Structure 1
């Protein structure tokens, strides 16, 4: 019975915290079968392609500065970041060639992006912005714009 009550609590928390800590909730849910119900409901973990934008910086201080701009303008208010606003931040801060295109990575399949980048991209809800994270290329945050199979 205790196991049955935990998935219900986890699903409720995941819906409320999707914009701020979706990555952390999904990481815990992925260890057992109980996370599957929440993932299939919103497409997390089940889609084949993701459409995303990102900001990439070599230094952690710079990525934190860029993320703070999103927090001050959108995230602290509980708002979703419009792609056009995210693009402005990417053009200003991103050190990736995609920064000139507003950080637009277009649609990409599972297996194309390495390690933590793929994990975060495929676990961030549509319309949400991930927290900053580190990959082999530097520091990123991602805006998920869409999912499809």
Structure 2
């Protein structure tokens, strides 16, 4: 999972129902304007993320268990293609059809809790489910 040479600014805002929980996998990070590369995730101006968005806690727990059983329980990172399969199966967001891929987005474009997790998660890591708006 490497960096893309140029981050894309096309981010889609969610429409329709507001999710009560989600799961996020950061797939890579970008420098953006004025950002720094390296391990200083707090200084990134753009990130690229995937997510699985579910309104019901039970459904997101089921999706997360599938990721845990396959990879996370062994301390492995979830391969992007496998995360995409789980997202396509469980996500209630239109991005689920694209494997949960949200593309590149800058700070300030996503809801507070999601943005905090997206910019604070190490590259390639999958977080536990969390509540977002």
> Quick check: TM above 0.5?
yes
- The answer to whether the aligner puts 1:127 opposite 2:124 as a matched pair is yes
- The answer to whether the aligner puts 1:67 opposite 2:64 as a matched pair is yes
- SS of the equivalent of 1:53 reads strand
Structure 2: runs of 5 or more not aligned = 1-36
- SS of the equivalent of 2:50 reads strand
Aligned to 1:98: 95
CA RMSD in angstroms comes to 1.1
Further displaced range: 41-50 or 107-116: 41-50
Equivalenced residue count is 97
Shift of 1:42: 1.1
Normalised to the residue count of structure 2, the TM-score between the two structures is 0.71
Aligned to 1:47: 44
CA distance in 2, matches of 1:43, 1:132: 24
- SS of the equivalent of 1:105 reads strand
Instruction: Kindly name which structure, 1 or 2, has the bigger radius of gyration based on alpha carbons.
Output: 1
Aligned to 1:114: 111
CA distance in 1, matches of 2:122, 2:73: 17
Shift of 1:95: 0.1
CA distance in 2, matches of 1:41, 1:123: 13
- SS of the equivalent of 1:70 reads helix
Shift of 1:41: 5.7
Structure 1: runs of 5 or more not aligned = 1-39, 137-149
- SS of the equivalent of 2:131 reads strand
Aligned to 1:87: 84
CA distance in 2, matches of 1:120, 1:129: 10
| CA deviations over 1:84-142 (Å, ceiling 9, x no partner) | 00000000000000000000001000000011000000001001001100012xxxxxx
